[in-house]
Structure 1
Amino acid sequence: MIISCTDDSKNPLPDFAASQGAFIRFVDEIAPPTVSFAVPAEASISLPVEDVNGNTTSYSLDMIATVGGNVSIIDDFITIDSFPATLTISAQMIADALNIPLNDLDFGDNFAFVAEAVRNDGVAFTGQVPVFDGDTGILSGGNTSANLLTGVYRNAMAFNFTFACPVFTTADVVGTYDVLNFSFGATFPITTATREIIAGPGDGQITIVGGEYPDYGADDLVLNVNFTTGTVSRGADGIAFDAAAGAFATDNYGDVSGLVLPCAGGLINLVVDFDAFAGNAHPFNLQKQ
């Protein structure tokens, strides 16, 4: 489904070619990033899904489960063949599919789901974007446009959730962290590979001292933290990088989302965007020493 201009009054999704692709989405909201695991037997999501174009004969989910650091792939974890429907995924279903006891699942385990939706003419659409290799001229990957896999379309084609850590406090998060990746390393040669995280400035906030690019004049990155779910958002305005400090331009922090996982090796997994360069959302991951 490569997109082109279309009349939204006739088609609720951007679409390409003469026929519409098979696309399943959540009716009211996107899948949650975390699921409470306080009571394992009750850990689940249950959300209505719909066949947007009315042409899907089957919808199946493959699961990529990361449990205790070990990755397992389960094909056809769930199949639905009539719509509208309710998509339910429980911890017990996950344990059964992995053939492990429920108690082997734990806080911080992550589960990613990639869909295949089969159109009524037999063509399958997967929750993966197409990838073109300019050297070989080969197109691989999936056949769903990348923008359809964003939250704005409430896509149920590719999503994931993590079993949230038990309720934690600021004291569980503050400390020294190693930066696990530098997404714009080619643009910004980074030399500062650690960050200090401190409490505040407000209640329910933490601060990454030096932000993402301290070598390029970044302000501290302040995050609002939900200590029950582990989810975060940007807590204050600030400069992401500064031309006066050697960056190619000056820009501010844009949207920030992600998870704080003190129970999973002290990980903080963020997705950071820039203000003027919106569309450059990228991972910024740290791990507590």
Structure 2
Amino acid sequence: MRINPVTYLASLLLTGALLAEGKIQLKRPVSPEVESSSSAGDSGKIEFSKPASSTAAAEADYTTSQGPEAKSRTLYMGSYLGFNYSGLAKGMQGSVNNGGSDLSVILGIRSELYFKRVYGIITDLGYEQNRAFIVETPTGGYAGNGILRTDYLALRSMFSYRYSLYKVLGKVKFLRPVAEALKPFAGNLQAGFFAKTPLSSQLEILNSTVGNPDDQLYDVREFARPVSGGFMGGLGFELRLGSYIWFFEGQYFRGLLNTYGPIQSRFFNTNEFSEQGFYFSSGFKTGIYGF
């Protein structure tokens, strides 16, 4: 009897299936992630996870610096221009009264070294002018007033703590719309000291018949201390403009060392004194490199 080849092949497949006794299992292809989780004891469980993007979107606030500023240390260089409002801090007793304060110019160059874009050391070197209005009592043999103007070479050094206005204000729910608008801005707290040496000093006598009425300016450099200084502290703001940063800041300063000794002359008779006041300045800086 001739056997049909098709019938013969079907018989072999049926016989093989019966001998397997249900031991043949079909397995779903397993990804390496699922396989590793199965080996940890979660066999039989299929987990679904959202595909992770290759690059996470960074917060677009002030602290997300790119390029060289992303390094742990960044050096900035810039310049500043502003004014100070100064008067006498002490020396108001005896023959000198604090008659008021006056506005004077300040300008210079600055360097800033920041660590992790948060903690910084600011160093300023520049020109500073102080104008103080002083009044002498009749005890010195002359009753009058004058303006003492001193030009200084000043060195200022401050510790700075920078913070993101967006992050600070964003923590308050009703201020979040304001915080969104302040993403390009940052604030910084400053505290440090200053030292200065006089370049020139003049006393302008007002409302007096003492001296030359055509020239009331007198050189009093000999009475100025060669070095004076004190402490300062304040608050600043920064706005990022591409690769440049515009800043505005204000600090209170107080002299701890006397700026002047007693002025003993035929024009004035004063005690020693120091100065206090406020610095206000603005300028631009840019990051040189990160390292």
> Structure 1 length as normaliser, TM-score?
0.30
Greater radius of gyration (CA): 2
- Structure number with higher relative contact order (C-alpha < 8 Å, ≥ 6 residues apart): 2
> Structure 2 length as normaliser, TM-score?
0.30
Higher helix share: 2
Higher strand share: 2
